[in-house]
Structure 1
Amino acid sequence: MALPAQDDRTLPAVVLQDLDRQPLEQALAGIQTLLDQHGHLIVVCSQAAPSGVERRLHTVRSLLESDRIALFRPELPPLGLAALVRQLRQLASCDLSPGVLASAGRLLTHYIHAGAVLNSVTRLDRVPVGLKAHARSWVPGSQFGVIAHPEPQLARIGPGVTLPGPEFGAWMLVAQGQLQTDWVTTTLAPAWNVLGLREATLPAESANWWGTSKLVEFCSYLPDLSVLYQLVTSVRQGTCHWCGIDVIGDRCVFCSATPPVHETHTPTG
């Protein structure tokens, strides 16, 4: 899902539609064209996507023998993932190197709180659900507030019930599914002291990720490009010893290399 741009600087996203269904030659040609046009490619893939999509991505990357394709599958629900992708699109307009931009995805994931309101948790397998919650799912009219990231949380919605949120100023994004509830906008958003609220279309993969189409998905995120840029540039950068690209963190997002382990020798006398 590609969210609408928030400003004129936000770069457009390229949606790799039906990547696992099209002929391999077509997928190879399409991604090679993107590499020729842009130099590097950051592919963000939902964990709710069919397993064939990830296999195809690895196949294409291997056949192209390219260290210029970064594959990223964070443990975020679809709406939170869409918000993260838009943040990367915002940062792509800045003077960040491809390795730092791709590494920023892992950093910014920590600043996204993502969840949903569900009418049932019987098919929810991505967040720990106790037996009592499962039993309550069978009670007509039950609704559950669930946080999937950064820390799994679940509560049956009732008067005054909220869920823990970010400890910093953030905006909230809400996507309406087939569930009628205003709990997110009237209770959760004020409890989180959100700075603003925007609506979005429910991602196609949300029903699969949450185990039901009767839901309202939400996430909090940082929309300000200057804040995002400051977060990314304040982190220490390094150089991958294998491919030479600038990165944030220990693992290179393009070639997957980790820093070499230097053995320490204890002098003997």
Structure 2
Amino acid sequence: MPTAIAVTSPDLVLAPTDPQTPLAALLQSPHAQPLDAALVDMHRLLEQHGYVIALYPASLSAAHEHRLHTVRSLLETDRLTLIKSPLPPLGLAVLVRQLRQLSVCDFSPGVMASAARLLSHYIHAGAVLNSVARLERVPVGLTAHARSWMPGSQFAVLANPEPQLIKVGSAGALTGPDFACHLLVAKGAVGADWVAESLAPAWRTGAVQEAAPPADSAAWWGAGKLTEFVAHLPDISVLYQLVASVRREQCRWCAMELIGDRCGFCASRQPADEEYGGPYGAAALSPVPASAHHARPLTRAERRRAIAPGP
């Protein structure tokens, strides 16, 4: 069975891109499920899949986050990892879907968990807002704050991979991805036309798709009226090549396989290997030029590896 991907909200489970993409398990809040039931569900999930990678937003309530750690502690398992993500709701949903896509490949659970950091570099997550007066997760200057009080103002904000903010209709532009991508849009009360007519052509997106607005988006962005958007890599062959191209190591603490400088399960940092000349550590998880990974068809050997059942 593939490694299970779990989430803390149904909004983080986007429609699958193909019949092979599995769904994600839902880890409910303590208000919706008693602790005994949560323990039974997680035990069953671990028995069925072997390992569970749970992703949750940094904005998750303290009670819900505490429940996740309590379940892992009471089960005394090292086969469950909890990954807190700073991505906005729609961006995290895209990352979750990408990991769901890769979960049916031949990657080990440790590599899958480490890949969350790598793939986050290629997610351009932003929104069009009617005000940035309450935006706390992206730096906002005094001028933008003042313009927020002007009727009819709209702002385009990018939260990941690098913070950006412009006023819609000004000469400025958001710096987009340097690779072929698709655009996922959660239309709201403002900004949908600008995303379709200005942003998508400027970023040369191959396709524009729609998703339902996540319930937590307004709180995350600090605005009641917004349209959220995410540019991302949709092709599983490119995602597979990105992850497969990074050198794999064995964690020197828990012995799990990993990519980069931090174990995805025990979170321990790995010492740099001075004898190795290729990408390693944080550099190994940095974005690479778009020319390094093309959306080409997989070779026969690569396709066998990409669709082979996981451990």
Which residue number in structure 2 is paired with residue 2 of structure 1? 13
Which residue number in structure 2 is paired with residue 197 of structure 1? 208
Q: Distance in 1 between matches of 2:239 and 2:187?
A: 27
What SS does the corresponding residue of 1:60 show, helix, strand or coil? helix
Among 86, 97, 117, the residue aligned to 1:86: 97
**Identical columns (%):** 57
What SS does the corresponding residue of 2:57 show, helix, strand or coil? coil
> Could you tell me whether the CA contact under 8 Å between 1:35 and 1:41 is conserved in 2?
yes
Equivalent position amino acid for 2:63 in 1? G
Question: How big is the alpha-carbon RMSD for the aligned residues of Structure 1 and Structure 2?
Answer: 1.6
Among 251, 256, 262, the residue aligned to 1:251: 262
- Indicate yes or no: 2:70 matched with 1:52: no
- Indicate yes or no: 2:245 matched with 1:234: yes
- Indicate yes or no: 2:104 matched with 1:97: no
Q: Which runs of 4+ in 1 moved over 6 A?
A: none
Cα 1:80/1:236, change in 2 over 3 Å: same
Among 2, 5, 11, the residue aligned to 2:22: 11
Q: Distance in 1 between matches of 2:80 and 2:51?
A: 6
Cα 1:251/1:80, change in 2 over 3 Å: same
> Could you tell me whether the CA contact under 8 Å between 1:162 and 1:187 is conserved in 2?
no
> Could you tell me whether the CA contact under 8 Å between 1:12 and 1:89 is conserved in 2?
yes
> Could you tell me whether the CA contact under 8 Å between 2:261 and 2:271 is conserved in 1?
no
TM-score, length of structure 1 as denominator length: 0.93
Q: Distance in 2 between matches of 1:73 and 1:3?
A: 19
| CA shift for structure 1 position 236 | 0.4
* Segment drifting more, 158-167 vs 129-138: 158-167
Equivalent position amino acid for 1:222 in 2? L
- Indicate yes or no: 2:180 matched with 1:144: no
Structure 2 stretches lacking a partner, 5+ long: 1-11, 274-311
Deviation digits for residues 183-231 of structure 1, max 9, x if unmatched? 0010011000111110001111111100123000001000100100000
- Indicate yes or no: 2:132 matched with 1:132: no
* Segment drifting more, 102-111 vs 59-68: 59-68
Which residue number in structure 2 is paired with residue 266 of structure 1? none
Q: Distance in 2 between matches of 1:101 and 1:164?
A: 29
> Could you tell me whether the CA contact under 8 Å between 1:13 and 1:89 is conserved in 2?
yes
| CA shift for structure 1 position 153 | 0.6
Cα 1:187/1:61, change in 2 over 3 Å: same
- Indicate yes or no: 2:92 matched with 1:72: no
Q: Distance in 2 between matches of 1:27 and 1:18?
A: 9
> Could you tell me whether the CA contact under 8 Å between 2:128 and 2:191 is conserved in 1?
no
> Could you tell me whether the CA contact under 8 Å between 1:46 and 1:76 is conserved in 2?
yes
Which residue number in structure 2 is paired with residue 176 of structure 1? 187
Among 61, 73, 76, the residue aligned to 1:62: 73
- Indicate yes or no: 2:229 matched with 1:218: yes
Q: Distance in 2 between matches of 1:15 and 1:178?
A: 29
Cα 1:25/1:42, change in 2 over 3 Å: same
| CA shift for structure 1 position 22 | 2.6
Deviation digits for residues 70-104 of structure 1, max 9, x if unmatched? 11112211101000000000001111111111111
Q: Distance in 1 between matches of 2:215 and 2:62?
A: 16
Structure 1 stretches lacking a partner, 5+ long: 263-269
* Segment drifting more, 44-53 vs 126-135: 44-53
Q: How many residues align?
A: 262
Equivalent position amino acid for 2:249 in 1? G
